[in-house]
Amino acid sequence: MTRARTWLRSIPLLASVILLAVLLIVDMTPDIPPCANEDGSGQTGWCYWDSSAHGNKWGTGIYIYRDGELIDQR
């Protein structure tokens, strides 16, 4: 396999690592609106669910969704 092919195959992995690093370093929740539903459904774009402040308030995590799909959990 050539070096170019090896490098091209590593692009998705590199992009994933960069995205994870950004999510861990930058606290995005102040710029993201809260989700209307606990699972992020019924809302387009980004939203977050703070289980200590929403719902029954018994949870401890923050969940970040994009178009209803879980992206990150803290």
DSSP letters for 20-71: HHHHHHS--GGGSPBPSSTT-TT--SEEEEETTTSTTS----EEEEETTEEE
pTM more than 0.75: no
- Map out the domains of the chain as residue ranges: 3-73
- Give the separation between CA 25 and CA 23, rounded to whole angstroms: 6
- Which range, 28-32, 54-58, 66-70, is most confident? 66-70
Q: With 60 as the cut, is the pLDDT of residue 66 above it?
A: yes
Average pLDDT over residues 48-72: 85
Q: How confident is the model at residue 30 (pLDDT cuts 50, 70, 90)?
A: low
